[in-house]
Amino acid sequence: MAHPRSKHADFEELRERAVALRREGHSLRQIRDELKIFNNDILNQLVKGEPPPEWTKRPRAKDDLRERARELRLQGWTYDRIEAELGCSKSSVSLWVRDLPKPERRDPAEQAKLAARKRWEHELAVRDEERRRTKAAAAADIGTMSDRELFIAGVALYWAEGAKDKAYRRTEVLHFINSDPNVIRLFLRWLEFLGVQRERLTLRVSIHETADVAAAEEFWADIAGVDTAALSKATLKRHNPRTVRKNTGDTYHGCLVIYVRQSADLYRRMEGAWYGIVGAATRQPD
């Protein structure tokens, strides 16, 4: 008595035929019609791992979109989510990814969490764009600065960030330190406006000893428009392992210290101008 063939043997035989047809350049529809397999799940299993022939791809489909769609499908995304993410039709998504296995159905709570995260990501993107537009508009409103405006801006900047003379410690000298490249650029421009020659400046990097000192010196030399050889020896801050620092990594460059020699008169003018600004701003109208 002959034994009936097992389902496994039947499947393997069908798979061999399906793979052979696939490698000959047949589409899934052609393989379906040839083998009389009308169950898409079984059909996909038969050709699993076999790439579709080039001619089945839409001629105008963008390769980057197709690859992205396949990546998302492998991550478990549904057709609807891929369609919304890439801005293409569901039929295109189906054509690009239908040979991939179907993702497992997610738990409803997980689905809700993913949807909420997607909405929040969209909200953050909208907020970021609003911030960018507001900042760009504010920057455009400044326009060109007059000499008077530059002088006032520099005085206010120094009074906020620079070293100041105290009654108990007479230090009438311009001594400035900051980690913001734009603040340094503005301060150097202010000094240039005041007629301070670069030869009167002592520039020095102040940075943690665990950082890349050479890279920081190159960074600040470029900001200041000088050669690294013009910088004085860097001041290294001793590392404290108990302190959790956030200013680390490739974006950390320490601070640039700017000392203006023979600047007592400039300091007095700066301080006097500062009190003049305060008086003018707070004076009550007659």
Position 205, amino acid: V
Tokens in use for 140?
Answer: 């455009």
Distance CA 241, CA 102 (A): 50
* pLDDT value of position 3: 44
* pLDDT value of position 256: 97
- Give the pLDDT confidence of 145-176 residue by residue, as tens digits: 999 999 999 999 999 999 999 888 888 999 99
Mean pLDDT of 256-261: 96
CATH 1.10.10 holds for 57-105 = yes
Residue 27 has pLDDT above 70, yes or no: yes
Residue 276 has pLDDT above 90, yes or no: yes
- The whole-model pTM stands at 0.58
Strand partners, 202: 259
Distance CA 242, CA 100 (A): 51
**90-97 vs 79-86: helix axis angle to the nearest 10?**
110
* pLDDT value of position 40: 82
Token look-up 């603040």 returns: 183
* pLDDT value of position 129: 92
- Give the pLDDT confidence of 87-133 residue by residue, as tens digits: 888 888 888 898 888 877 767 777 778 778 888 888 888 899 999 99
Sheet hosting strand 232-237, strand order edge to edge:
175-178, 255-260, 201-208, 232-237
* pLDDT value of position 2: 42
Residue 8 has pLDDT above 60, yes or no: no
Residue 85 has pLDDT above 80, yes or no: yes
Distance CA 14, CA 268 (A): 93
No. of helices (H) and no. of strands (E), the chain: 11, 4
Domain extent listing, the chain: 1-53, 57-105, 147-282
